[in-house]
Structure 1
């Protein structure tokens, strides 16, 4: 019986332990299995195992190192304790088991914590790629600061923390034992007083009890402190104490030398303290500690005094070299050092002939603004209540054989819009699983009523663009984060048709097939027993999750920073998402941080199949050392850009996030002369619209994608463009253009405007036309009778050494669900400003007889209206009516202006 009990006890205990471990780590085990399956499905299992392998490589050796060191330290303390008590360590199996258990637990948590905190820094350290450029202070390659210094600092922090904790643990152990002894003596009426004599006795007892251990630990603390100040010296390249970010005169001549002195004194003090504790001498320890304390305390005082007394009185000369470093390294870090600068001598001599000769540009001028267009898409082109447009993007396609800029919106499922009858588990996860199709409209034209001119629209899809779309279904997008199960018995809803739902069964390669075991797994993972119990799910059904494209890419490659605006591309009949990936750092030496970033490259293009979810990462900047390091760490993650379809590449855009950041940096760092930089006499700021389409002041930024023919170029191309004002002025100083077509992709060109002329900025243009007597009067009339005027985006088009300013005016009826419509176009050459019912009318008013070479039909918009005398006759009629209204209201100033315009048009008709 005793034998059976022993056997049962032998097996029951491990079983119980395993059971409780499984219960305690159940969620972690489920997450691990689900992650393995998901990474395998997306073909990036090696990426997931890179982390697991790295953690194992780091934590397992660390565990044994900590276990052995803690055990040896314990044995050393135990031996000293017994020796101080003249006791014999008889040993105890229970005590030894307890010690091993505690040691193992502490070692486990320490190794896991350090492994989780530093596995990635270790990989970066081991796989670092040289920048082949050095910092100006220590002459070290930039890679040292970005890939190596973070790990070295981490090691310093771990060592210092560990040593201090060991010292505290040793002293606490001594105090606990001593307190126990003293308590016994107190009970025997021998009260101990903390007088000088007893303090000396206690210090001697501590030295006797753990002298060697404390001596070693104290010496090691000082050695680590010395090491820490060596590292701290390197960090002056991130100093913000000077006139610019990075090392300053005071940092290099005073602060750095103090850090070096403290490092040397700490190293010497380590030896002194070690010997003094062993010899039971307090004075040398005190002197060493005081020396370090004094140096540490006076360093900021001396640095501040130097800055105030010496530097401030001669700051320009003393800081000039360091300002130059800051300029140079900031420009390199933000990739604005190779910008091509050209002079743009603005004149106001645009003629009708110039307009006719640049029809490719005129016909692609954006007269639809983003916000009202998105609003119209959502109100008119959602088609079904459960579909929505999260965004619309601007791109270029060949439409009717012509290079055409368009808005492209993706019709995605919005689960929040499901009504009571469909807002069920089956509705959200089995039936309403995907978006359907896209809508496309030309940015350069509107309908006769002022609405976007669609060339792809509706459900079922009506496609007049000539762009092939084979499968319009969108299972992976920006909005829907629900998991869905596809290939069920009933199928999934596309859209209602004839009183019934048109259904689809998914036939792509995305998703994970659901066997019975996997149904159990995912029921536990998502906390829904319906996955297990639903009769709709078959052995061929698949579960899809992590479908939001930003979640998807962040789970695969979280070390990259991603652009906030993914965009849809139609290519070879399929729908793809493109997301720009950035390598970023805040560790680039001497570079001014912006939003906690002081280095950035657009080194990755991510392409995601909207139907299958296939996610591919392509390297777009092979010269970037950060992406080369990531490529070494994850050799199977990145693909060569040459393997990507040329058609998809042709839709790549210069991403707006990095362009905006570079524009912000350029506002200050276009200056390369340290003296001019110090004076701050040539500062730019990005031009802002005075109002956006919702009339919210200063919200709209002017960054825009436009079709232009750049100076010295012989063809039109799509570019991203920003305009700059002189700081705190409304005069425009320059424009920055980011090119993105063909071999010019990624090139930046800055055009400087004459400094002695007043060039309208967007805000100045808006103020000017609002003050125009004729336009102001019309605006007042438009703002009455139950309607409001909203101002669209200001578009500024460089053409023939001139600037053409365009703004669409939207009329919105008062009341709910009203849609803004383009009713007027304001046009200016920077000198004269006019307002017409459409682009052709406005061009005619500004330049005279304009020839429209486009063929027109009933489907084309107002930018493609009748031409020649018909256009002029319509203009004459409109102006005549306005002249009569001005006469009736007694506004003789406006009457005279209209009369003059009418005379000019009649002269053109008579030519």
Structure 2
């Protein structure tokens, strides 16, 4: 094959590749448009795509025009260099009258038109490459033009916080764009002049020709003008300086570095002016002196001088120098994390809980969470997944009105995991048309346990079987946390719905979600966009068929709003219609809040839970609700995308009753508050009262304690409410000094409370209670015994429960045999004051501590009689013969179980209880 043929073939292959790439890109773009349109967010798509493409085109055109202009200014120099070579002689006379015919001169191939074409091609390539780097930057521009004031000014430059959040990023973006364009043009024209000047005059005459000097001097002057602007922008970055004792501008930054930037700003302008003047004076050494002086000044003023000031002026008197800046850091960090809204209250210590306190706060006791989500997820999997292809992705915690009572529950959605289908079943038909959705929900109260140590289900099995007023009438899960691939519904092939006896039940999708494939054109589009040619070959697709894609909530919602940050845990809610709706917390963040301490590695130092997002598990409908209307960032996004965000009041009431304070935000605020509860700069500087988040035993390891939800009556309140709690311990100590609560119900949603203990009183912290558990001889012996008999003991979360103005510590214990992955709840450890007990149930543990008059009002597991002395239940003296007989039978079974487990102490206790019941039974018989 000739060289020309190979070249033509290469061009053909390249053209085909480019065409296929453009077709795939265009198909994906149009499919996304159909998807946004189906979700009723076409304006979001138009705004995003037009802005994205428009910005890339504008930036590309600017870079192209700028580079081409500068390259065209070199064209004359290049042409002169070409013409300066010795003239071409087609014939050459040699000795003996021999005439040699020379080959064609390479200069004949170079014309001004071809030179222009080369410069145009080079400019296009660099412009295209640079334009790809600005993907997503359109948000910066829109935030600048639609910005909202924060209403607070910084203490150094006296500008509104919005200036730093919205304006400065825009100015920096423009500055980097212009600087990059100038530097890129300097590089290209320098290469051109280097080659042409070397060709004309040798290495000793590089850049000595006037055209090169003038051109490069003009670019240098423009660069230093931009550099002066850059020094002005650098001033504002001092507000995030990590140099001092706190984050933000310190004494050295404001007295040395800020001065350096101002001097360098003036010197940059002078340098640019000298370069321009030298275009006429031709004293180019003066230019070198100016540039050299700027560099030396930058090193001395920008590096050496601040270092000397920090070492010899600040460090010997650090607190007195830094005190005002520490106060700025405390104030603005508290504002950035909303910690200035925390309500601080005292909480008495040393008071011992009484039986009356338990009875008066029975709703709190009923909702103590005995099930840890880790072992419960394994138990759910064993009991309720039913088939290999079903999966409980997460166990979530929520609260519901259950038969008129406010109850805390744990629930999980049974989703489809196609990866767990048997190998022979992983066909295209099954994965795309048959196994399209998960089915149903499992739900259990946080504190109820069966006689076998397993959860008591409010909802279970397939189809969902309710034991309470909570019912699921639309159990299909098409959109959730596990649904990663696309599926096609309403085809000729019925969808698998759920297993039924020896066979299966089938269904057809009846929702509004998905995009129709009602033409051969759309078939081609989806085949190209999804990269699946089988879409074109299947005969099961009809005009009513729909493609459901972007079904995973963590893919679906960020595709609509990529400018928001999201919580790590979306959670399902059973709505009033019996369907399933996902709720996901979204945050607005920035790294431009002055003086605020960052909370992550990317430097983000401001966060608000500004948005609650809902997604229907059947239809896939997505709605954004503003949860914090005071947040300037969400106000700005609302201006950019009119109609996208709705007021929280427009969220359906049944869903609004399930919104909760998000754990991720609470953890960030807790970590910050552990340091930033100190308002006095002197105390803050010395870290005299620094707190830390406690640790606890999970399994056999010590791990950081997780925040936990519970239903309790907060001190000073009358009604039980759903709160998120985190205790605090002092630095390098294990006792507890305070606890924080975030409220989630009604008009109190979002309020943060901190209850502080008296500093002179000892209140046990979580690890101290864990140590007391390990040191209790009876408990430790029992745990050791279980661990030696083919079972492993799993220690659940230690919960610190506020009851009235005292604390109750509760830790569940689970047993898991070596052959089974189904942990069973077998013991509950309760600590109150100096007492610590371990019993089979929370009720029994409370009775051991507070006496027989204390009991729970929750329903008992089947086969167990009501506990004694509880409201609405018969007392022991009123118990019927039948009830006593059932109790005797239960105690006998319990004694046998303890005997098999080697629990001799428990075995003896059960026999004593059995004897008491038998005596009462005999009295009844008489």
Where 2:341 maps in the other structure, the secondary structure is: coil
For residue 669 of structure 2, what is the aligned residue in structure 1? 662
The correspondence for 2:702, drawn from 676, 679, 698, is 698
User: Are positions 1:675 and 2:682 aligned together?
Assistant: yes
Distance 1:501 1:92, change over 3 A: same
For residue 475 of structure 1, what is the aligned residue in structure 2? 478
For residue 109 of structure 1, what is the aligned residue in structure 2? 128
Name the CA distance, whole Å, in 1 between partners of 2:719 and 2:45: 47
For residue 794 of structure 1, what is the aligned residue in structure 2? 798
Where 1:714 maps in the other structure, the secondary structure is: coil
Is the 8 Å Cα contact of residues 856 and 866 (structure 1) preserved in structure 2? no
For residue 575 of structure 1, what is the aligned residue in structure 2? 580
Q: CA RMSD of the aligned region, Å?
A: 3.3
Name the CA distance, whole Å, in 1 between partners of 2:409 and 2:226: 61
The C-alpha deviation readout for 1:137-161, integer Å capped at 9, x for no partner, is 1111111211121221222222222
User: Are positions 1:278 and 2:280 aligned together?
Assistant: yes
Where 1:589 maps in the other structure, the secondary structure is: coil
Is the 8 Å Cα contact of residues 692 and 729 (structure 2) preserved in structure 1? yes
| CA shift for structure 1 position 357 | 1.4
Which range moved further: 527-536 or 615-624?
Answer: 527-536
For residue 224 of structure 2, what is the aligned residue in structure 1? 222
The correspondence for 1:145, drawn from 149, 161, 164, is 164
Is the 8 Å Cα contact of residues 436 and 478 (structure 2) preserved in structure 1? yes
Distance 1:898 1:671, change over 3 A: farther
TM-score, with normalisation over the residues of structure 2? 0.88
Name the CA distance, whole Å, in 1 between partners of 2:682 and 2:689: 11
User: Are positions 1:638 and 2:645 aligned together?
Assistant: yes
Is the 8 Å Cα contact of residues 583 and 614 (structure 2) preserved in structure 1? yes
For residue 192 of structure 2, what is the aligned residue in structure 1? 173
For residue 9 of structure 1, what is the aligned residue in structure 2? none
Where 2:643 maps in the other structure, the secondary structure is: coil
Is the 8 Å Cα contact of residues 249 and 325 (structure 2) preserved in structure 1? yes
| CA shift for structure 1 position 80 | 6.0
Which range moved further: 58-67 or 374-383?
Answer: 58-67
Distance 1:849 1:593, change over 3 A: same
* Matching of residues 398-797 of structure 1 within 5 Å: 398-515=401-518, 516-572=520-576, 573-595=578-600, 596=602, 597-689=604-696, 691-692=697-698, 694-695=699-700, 697-699=701-703, 701-797=705-801
Is the 8 Å Cα contact of residues 410 and 568 (structure 1) preserved in structure 2? yes
| CA shift for structure 1 position 792 | 1.3
Q: Which runs of 5+ in 1 are unaligned?
A: 1-13, 183-191
User: Are positions 1:23 and 2:27 aligned together?
Assistant: no
Where 1:130 maps in the other structure, the secondary structure is: coil
| CA shift for structure 1 position 583 | 0.5
| CA shift for structure 1 position 635 | 1.4
User: Are positions 1:38 and 2:43 aligned together?
Assistant: no
The correspondence for 2:394, drawn from 391, 398, 413, is 391
| CA shift for structure 1 position 844 | 0.9
The C-alpha deviation readout for 1:158-187, integer Å capped at 9, x for no partner, is 2222222222322221221123235xxxxx
Is the 8 Å Cα contact of residues 226 and 264 (structure 1) preserved in structure 2? yes
The C-alpha deviation readout for 1:475-531, integer Å capped at 9, x for no partner, is 000012111111122211122223221001001111111132222222222332221
| CA shift for structure 1 position 77 | 3.1
For residue 309 of structure 1, what is the aligned residue in structure 2? 312
Where 1:718 maps in the other structure, the secondary structure is: strand
| CA shift for structure 1 position 617 | 0.8
The C-alpha deviation readout for 1:805-838, integer Å capped at 9, x for no partner, is 111111222x233421111111111311111121
The C-alpha deviation readout for 1:551-584, integer Å capped at 9, x for no partner, is 0011111111111100000111221000000001
Is the 8 Å Cα contact of residues 384 and 495 (structure 1) preserved in structure 2? no
Distance 1:416 1:367, change over 3 A: same
Name the CA distance, whole Å, in 1 between partners of 2:864 and 2:363: 16
| CA shift for structure 1 position 62 | 4.4
* Matching of residues 109-258 of structure 1 within 5 Å: 109=128, 112-113=131-132, 115-116=134-135, 118-182=137-201, 198=204, 202=206, 205-206=208-209, 208-258=210-260
Is the 8 Å Cα contact of residues 464 and 472 (structure 2) preserved in structure 1? no
The C-alpha deviation readout for 1:833-880, integer Å capped at 9, x for no partner, is 1111211111110001224363755538899689665899999989x9
Where 1:134 maps in the other structure, the secondary structure is: coil
* Matching of residues 358-377 of structure 1 within 5 Å: 358-377=361-380
Is the 8 Å Cα contact of residues 815 and 824 (structure 2) preserved in structure 1? yes
For residue 51 of structure 1, what is the aligned residue in structure 2? 48
Is the 8 Å Cα contact of residues 46 and 636 (structure 1) preserved in structure 2? no
Is the 8 Å Cα contact of residues 619 and 639 (structure 1) preserved in structure 2? yes
* Matching of residues 750-899 of structure 1 within 5 Å: 750-813=754-817, 815-852=818-855, 854=857, 856=859, 858-859=861-862, 869=876
The C-alpha deviation readout for 1:689-733, integer Å capped at 9, x for no partner, is 1x21x33x1235231000110011001011000001111211001
Name the CA distance, whole Å, in 2 between partners of 1:246 and 1:860: 65
Which range moved further: 787-796 or 650-659?
Answer: 787-796
Is the 8 Å Cα contact of residues 493 and 503 (structure 1) preserved in structure 2? yes
For residue 186 of structure 1, what is the aligned residue in structure 2? none
Where 2:737 maps in the other structure, the secondary structure is: strand
Is the 8 Å Cα contact of residues 445 and 860 (structure 1) preserved in structure 2? no
Is the 8 Å Cα contact of residues 514 and 541 (structure 1) preserved in structure 2? yes
Number of positions where the alignment pairs a residue of Structure 1 with one of Structure 2: 863
The C-alpha deviation readout for 1:217-271, integer Å capped at 9, x for no partner, is 1111111111111111111011101111110100000011011101111111110
Is the 8 Å Cα contact of residues 704 and 722 (structure 1) preserved in structure 2? yes
Where 2:74 maps in the other structure, the secondary structure is: helix
Is the 8 Å Cα contact of residues 439 and 457 (structure 1) preserved in structure 2? yes
Name the CA distance, whole Å, in 2 between partners of 1:181 and 1:857: 100
Is the 8 Å Cα contact of residues 759 and 830 (structure 1) preserved in structure 2? no
Name the CA distance, whole Å, in 2 between partners of 1:865 and 1:440: 28
Is the 8 Å Cα contact of residues 348 and 831 (structure 1) preserved in structure 2? no
Distance 1:756 1:214, change over 3 A: same
Distance 1:345 1:275, change over 3 A: same
Which range moved further: 789-798 or 502-511?
Answer: 789-798
Distance 1:71 1:400, change over 3 A: closer
Is the 8 Å Cα contact of residues 60 and 111 (structure 1) preserved in structure 2? no
Is the 8 Å Cα contact of residues 584 and 599 (structure 1) preserved in structure 2? yes
Is the 8 Å Cα contact of residues 840 and 863 (structure 1) preserved in structure 2? no
The C-alpha deviation readout for 1:655-679, integer Å capped at 9, x for no partner, is 0000011111111111111100000
Where 1:391 maps in the other structure, the secondary structure is: coil
Distance 1:371 1:59, change over 3 A: closer
| CA shift for structure 1 position 274 | 1.5
| CA shift for structure 1 position 359 | 1.1
User: Are positions 1:321 and 2:328 aligned together?
Assistant: no
Distance 1:137 1:793, change over 3 A: same
Distance 1:494 1:740, change over 3 A: same
Name the CA distance, whole Å, in 1 between partners of 2:181 and 2:571: 49
The C-alpha deviation readout for 1:436-483, integer Å capped at 9, x for no partner, is 010110102111111111011001221112123221100000012111
Is the 8 Å Cα contact of residues 616 and 622 (structure 2) preserved in structure 1? yes
TM-score, with normalisation over the residues of structure 1? 0.89
Name the CA distance, whole Å, in 2 between partners of 1:26 and 1:662: 48
| CA shift for structure 1 position 51 | 2.2
Distance 1:534 1:742, change over 3 A: same
